Chain A
Amino acid sequence: MDEIRGKIYGVSGPVVMASSMKGAKMHTTCHVGYAGLLGEIIRIEGDMVTIQVYEDTTGLTLGEEVISFGRPLTAMLGPGLLSNVYDGIQRPLYIVSESGAYIGKGIRIEGLDLDRKWGFNPHKKAGDEVGPGDILGSFAETESITHKVMVPPGVKGVIKEISKGSVSGRSPVCVLTDGKTIRLFQEWPVRVPRPFKSKLPPTDPFVTGQRVFDTLLPIAEGGTAAVPGGFGTGKTVVEHTIAKYARTDIVIYIGCGERGNEMTEVLTEFPHLKDPMTGLPLNMRTVIIANTSNMPVAAREASIFTGITIAEYFRDMGYRVALMADSISRWAEALREISSRLEEMPSEEGFPPYLASRLGGFYERAGKVNCLGNDGRTGSVTVISAISPPGGDFSEPVTQASLRVAGALWALDTELAYARHFPAVNWKRSFSLYYKKLSSWFEREVAPDMVELRSRLAALLQKEEDLNEVVQVIGVEALQDSDRLTLEAATIAREGFLRQSAFSETDAFASFEKQYWMLKAIFSFLDSSMKALESGVYLERIIESPLRTSLLRMQNLSNEGFREWAEDMIGKIEKELLSVE
């Protein structure tokens, strides 16, 4: 493709117009001005093109050169992604930081270190016939993750030569008989979903270790969850906690238009935290995209696509990938800002009319799939995206557009956050569309009565809500004793079960076994004390029982040995409450 050279004709914020660009293609990248800022063509009118520039445009001068290369915005996919930190257009931030604490302009660094050598272990030999997605060989990218070198989509043939041992990204790792070469890395346009054989229905849960999600509002592996909440409701902590503790192979964390200091927290914590599955440092399974709120908006717009393309690449290797996007609202705002500079007709709240379709296209890239390749492997991308609705009002366009496509809603609530009840999930407003599909998994893998306990929990919380309305009118003293007991049990369920500290060493991740036995203990307390009440025991005696306090504090016990503790506890409850005369 020939280069096309034009000149800067106009500048307005992140949007630049260039003249004499005949032949330039839509959605291809250019270098703008003497500083060589990276941009993408987003509109063509005659010989004039409009470019969204991924860097600050201050100082661009009329008449400076614009060069188009005819290539779309691509991500570089290959070994070296893990434990790396990128900006929205995949520039490695650690290497950028070598030239200073601030991000300068016109920096162009490849996303992967092509000179780094890897000990390639071939799985195929010369003469083998290979097609898209077939695994040519592998090596340990980090201690926890094996990198599989795949035949890129659209390539097939017979192997003529294949390397063994030390290889770098510079030279081909495999040559086909028709002369085509395959390297350690692939380049893929970020706005195009990577191909797969077929999508699979949700069957297994995505295990977060957070009780309110796993038990009450589960999502499936390959599912999507939207997490809206006003400021201070704990969206970021939810995203961080899941990134740390979720049972998944790879985590892609996108800090999209959020705080710099929060990214620093992730960057400094992850190398010291252990992956709960492998015991190795967390950053070995993580790729971070940090495009903070003060970094250029156009790169923020690109960041979620760069992130999901990387996620799909690992999915194609057969891994379970979790993508955390914090926050989608900031991405939508970037879209709005660019749209308004283009003087497009705005729709609701100034967002462009294509907001919902773009967002839908992004969420649809999640899923569990049969990967390309002949070994029948499956992989998944689970997307959990935070939403920051203005004024905490969920009727706004970004929340509404997400609700239409997301399979679960984890609505965060200001009132709960004020009372420091975290995760501040409003269980009434939230929903999970996966629950029915996952029921058989819960019955099979956790316990036959897990689904029933979950329903009892939901009913108890609903009952509390109803009773509280009565209390609002007549006061709690006027309630029947059995109703007051129900309120007590609901308090234990909320405070003891749903509330979970992300910073507690023993409780940050709760195993399904622990979750199940906690529920068992709570309902054993409720059932036994109801019976005790019927047999004439005073309510005060039950409420002031030390058993209640133990239940309220049981979350601090660790996963190991919890079952024994709970069984013992249930024994005590029955003994103490049912044996009194």
Chain B
Amino acid sequence: MDLISREYRTITGITGPLVFVEGIKRGSFGEMCIVKMDTAETRTGQILKLEGDKAVVQVLEGASGIDRDKTSIIPTGEVAKVGVSMDMMGRIFNGSGFPIDALPEIIPEKNLDINGLPMNPVAREKPNYFIETGISVIDGLNTLVRGQKLPIFSSAGLPANELVLQILRQARGAEEEDFCVIFGAMGITSREAFFFREGIEETGAMSRTVSFINLASDPTVERFFTPRIALTTAEYFAFEKGFQVMVVLTDMTAYCEALRELGSAREEIPGRRSYPGYMYTDLATLYERAGCIKGSQGSITIMPILTMPEDDITHPIPDLTGYITEGQIVLSRDMHMKGIYPPINALPCLSRLMNIGIGKGRTREGHRELADQLYASYAKGIHIRRLVAIVGEEGLTELDRTYLAFADEFEKRFIGQGEERRTIDETLDLGLELLKMLPERELKRLK
């Protein structure tokens, strides 16, 4: 901390959430500032850019009401930090980390830089602990492991939230003492916030959940901080206290839109669809905080939820996310319209860490081959379904018709399991049973 406080009353301009200040003598990049208004209200700001004696400060709560002449900026000498402690369990905070559950502020055990530091790749432990979610398409075909980052690509109106809650409710190990949930919400509606709160209470994990909630009506700039605060808290619980942390971040689309809004206020050169060129790096600094560390008991698993604008998987938000995360679970409107729950479009789904989480001793020997066979057969069925639309059923061979029937059954029974919780054995047995519909000579991938 500074002994002599610096207070600058030299604002030259305000645009969007940004305040331009002159005459700065000492200031550091990323330094937090107190914005003191003439109404005695104070807000929080952060230095985004320094050039000579000029600084650009973004105000978390937004700039409305800030007076150019009567407002002063006081740098604090600190970068953005969050106070963490075990008492955070069960509590609800806003997007900047202040309690909103009518309980007193926590007494921090320590203050941590919310940007964290990059994990050394050689210090990472290879994630290989299989998480049984009870959902067949995930466990059987796109297995989740501890330390993985596996997003859900949803679209407006699809039940992504329900699916995530079902995973939290069913995941084996979730009832254990060392399991906890960090919930980071950016730009969600109060309806969704209620839904999640009720849902988490139902799972019985509320006392082991820390929530950070930035609502759609809360300031945009705050959305930039919310996931970082959530992940810093997650790192504290995972690597200092040994918890198995599941981080749910929703909705990443709102986060990326906040990035775009800030980028344009800063007059940056826009990239694809006007999102900032550094969005890949920015998202990576969030998602890459998932993982396991050698010599540490805990782990961070991240399940981000994002809404694909216009159901478009090539939109920059799902596209860049897919390039960083270790796979994706994709929801589909078609499946939803058919009444299949969970409405997962299995073909574009992927889990990159599946191979190290499955097999003998973890799930079952031959799991990989079975998954590949189900995928290949289902893809063939879907291909034929497309053909039928053009040539009609008459042009098909007997075998083609069998594939069509297989694809239908696979969607109805394997994917569309509803609220049921299936063990991995049940999932794999069902897969084998469905494959019996096809002639044996077609099952090239099974040993």
Which listed residue (B122, B352, B372, B394) contacts A290, Cβ 8 A?
A: B122
Nearest CB of B to A481, in Å: 13
Taking a contact as CB atoms closer than 8 A, the residue among B120, B291, B353, B380 that contacts A97 in the complex is: B120
Residue A388 lies at the interface, judged by CB distance under 8 Å to chain B: yes
- Closest chain A CB from B228 CB (angstroms): 12
Encode contact with A along B304-329: 1 for CB under 8 Å, 0 otherwise. 00000000001110011011101110
Beta-carbon contact of A478 and B122 below 8 Å: no
Which residue of B is nearest A496, CB measured? B444
A85 touching B277, Cβ below 8 Å: no
Q: A450-472 interface mask toward B, CB cutoff 8 Å, 1 = contact, 0 = none?
A: 00000000000000000000011
Residue A275 lies at the interface, judged by CB distance under 8 Å to chain B: no
Whether B277 lies near A263 (C-beta < 8 A) is no
* B289 in the interface (beta carbon within 8 A): yes
Asked if B49 lies at the interface with its beta carbon under 8 angstroms from chain A, I say yes
Q: Which of A470-488 contact B (CB under 8 A)?
A: 471-478
Q: Is A361 an interface residue (CB 8 A)?
A: no
Q: Does A119 contact B (CB under 8 A)?
A: no
Could you say which of B28-36, B58-66, B212-220 contacts chain A? B28-36
Q: CB within 8 A of B289: which of A60, A294, A295?
A: A294
A60, A103, A418: the one contacting B117 at CB < 8 Å is: A103
Interface size on B, residues (CB 8 A): 85
Q: Which residue of A lies closest to B235 (CB)?
A: A102
Query: Contact at A62–B444, with CB atoms within 8 Å?
Result: no
> Which residues of the partner chain B approach A471 to less than 8 Å between Cβ atoms?
387, 391, 395
B24 at interface by CB-CB < 8 Å: yes
Binds B, one of A7-15, A38-46, A145-153, A439-447: A7-15
Asked if residues A58 and B124 are in contact (CB atoms below 8 Å), the reply is no
Q: Which of B367-400 contact A (CB under 8 A)?
A: 368, 372, 375-376, 379-380, 387, 390-392, 394-397, 400
Interface check A293, CB cutoff 8 A: yes
B47 (CB) vs chain A CBs: closest residue = A11
Instruction: Assess whether B272 is in contact with A56, with CB atoms less than 8 Å apart.
Output: no
Q: Which of B239, B290, B387, B441 contacts A548 (CB 8 A)?
A: B441
- On chain A, the residues within 8 Å of B52 by CB distance are 9-10
Kindly report which residue of chain B lies nearest to residue A33, judged by CB atoms. B28
CA distance A53 to B391 in the complex (A): 61
> How far in angstroms is the closest Cβ of chain B from A491?
10
Interface residue B171 (Cβ < 8 Å from any Cβ of A): no
Using CB atoms, name the residue of chain B closest to A269. Answer: B126
Q: How far apart are B247's CB and chain A's nearest CB, in angstroms? A: 15
With A59-B29, A419-B380, A553-B444 already in contact, the answer to whether A103 and B120 are too (CB < 8 A) is yes
Contact, CB under 8 Å: B288 / A293:
yes
* A101-B239, A293-B324 given; A231·B288 CB < 8 A: no
The answer to whether A113 has its CB under 8 Å from any CB of chain B is no
A293 to B322, CA, bound (A): 13
The 10 closest A-B pairs by CB, nearest first: A475-B395, A391-B314, A293-B284, A10-B51, A419-B379, A294-B288, A58-B30, A231-B322, A11-B29, A102-B117
Binding site for A on B (CB under 8 A): 24-31, 48-53, 79, 113, 115-127, 147-148, 239, 268-272, 277-278, 280-281, 284-285, 288-291, 293-294, 296, 314-316, 319-320, 322-324, 326-328, 347-348, 350, 352-353, 355-356, 368, 372, 375-376, 379-380, 387, 390-392, 394-397, 400, 441, 444
Q: List 11 interface pairs A-B (beta carbons < 8 Å), by A numbering.
A: A11-B50, A61-B26, A61-B28, A61-B31, A93-B122, A261-B291, A265-B356, A293-B280, A297-B278, A472-B387, A475-B387
